Amino acid sequence: MIGIAYALIAVIILILVPWVGVQGLGLTYLFGVIIPYAAMAIFFFGFLQRLVKWSRIPNPFKIPTTGGQQKSLNWIRQSKLDNPSSTSQVIGRVLSEVFLFRSLFRNLSPRVGTGGSGVTYASAKWLWVFAILFHYAMFTTLFRHLRFFTNPVPFPVRFVEGIDGWLEVGIPQVMVSGLVLLCAISLLLARRLVIPRLRYISLMNDFFPLFLLIAIATTGVLMRYIVGIDVPSVKQLIMGLVSFRPVMIDGIGQLFYIHIFLVSTLLAYFPFSKMMHSLGIFFSPTRALANNNRAVHHENPWNYPVKFHTYGAFEAEFRDKMTEAGIPLDDTLATSTGKE
């Protein structure tokens, strides 16, 4: 549980750093340009390095976890998504994990009966709900942010924004995704805090990204709805960054620097964190391989011969007993050893 305290302290420090840095020391260029660039670079190369590292390690064996009927006799219906036997089916399986969190959807949890009466199982889809909410809200929010990176803002971004603002309340208009995102992160955090089993397995590495995201989302929400920032200036700054012609613009609120510093931290932390599960799922041997080992040969690149106990050695030891029991001996073996 100490992990949660460390994580919280770390995030508080991460909020204070840009505050002191910009407000106190006036290091706007450092926080507005250098650090974002560095973070992008770390993210990019870190991610790439991980990708290369993982893809270099072979899959010696094809070990999909089969979650449905195999392909065998043609009158038995194969469960193509849960027990894929071809590449396209494997792609289907992986995509169903990526977009629908299929495995998480199966979740059940044991209910212990009273007085030793045993255990029953009930569907437990809360984690699935939270995870779906979180990831899709995250995606939408990120996508909306493209308005800061593009000029003119492309239609899909405006379109998503339009949908996202369906509530049509508030000035500026309330974006549902941002609020859902905050809620979902809070729920994921609450889950970790409230469920004893999760509290027990959670590490600092699990709390830190959650706190960081909460801080990022909160600063975002504050900027949009409460404190307000100079949107055109921010866009100018970001466009400058994107086009590699950074410009410094005065009068962008303090909050923005905190926001962008936290995002930079997240980016730089990403490739070394559990968030790499986003890439990992595509590499997972139990999900991303076909269960067709019996039909198609799979080569293990580091396969090597082993010295197994040969039939010859076996027969040599048991020849008499086999003869007596009427078990045929190998005549090719007998002649080759010169025995009649």
Our CB check for another protein shows the closer of 50 and 235 to be 50
Place of tokens 């204070």: 16
User: To 10 degrees, what angle do helices 204-221 and 2-18 make?
Assistant: 40
Distance CA 264, CA 258 (A): 10
Q: Which of these, 110, 158, 134, lies nearest to 278 by C-alpha position?
A: 134
Burial string for 174-188 (b: 16+ CB within 10 Å, else e) reads bbbbbbbbbebbebb
Our CB check for another protein shows the closer of 71 and 147 to be 71
In the complex, what is the shortest distance from the CB of residue 264 to another protein, in angstroms, rounded to a whole number? 18
Our CB check for another protein shows the closer of 90 and 241 to be 90
Our CB check for another protein shows the closer of 151 and 336 to be 336
Tokens representing residue 334 in the block? 């007998």
Our CB check for another protein shows the closer of 286 and 335 to be 286
Our CB check for another protein shows the closer of 123 and 243 to be 123
Amino acid identity at 261: F
Our CB check for another protein shows the closer of 171 and 325 to be 325
Residue 208, SS3? helix
Distance CA 46, CA 178 (A): 28
What lies within 8 Å, CB to CB, of 150 at 6+ separation is 157
In the complex, what is the shortest distance from the CB of residue 286 to another protein, in angstroms, rounded to a whole number? 4
In the complex, what is the shortest distance from the CB of residue 299 to another protein, in angstroms, rounded to a whole number? 7
Q: What are phi and psi of 253, to 5 degrees?
A: -60, 155
Distance CA 141, CA 134 (A): 10
What lies within 8 Å, CB to CB, of 164 at 6+ separation is 140, 144, 175, 176, 177
In the complex, what is the shortest distance from the CB of residue 168 to another protein, in angstroms, rounded to a whole number? 35
Place of tokens 């830190």: 208
Query: How many Cα atoms are found within 13 Å in the side-chain-facing hemisphere of 75?
Result: 0
Our CB check for another protein shows the closer of 23 and 278 to be 278
What lies within 8 Å, CB to CB, of 293 at 6+ separation is 62
Distance CA 28, CA 23 (A): 9
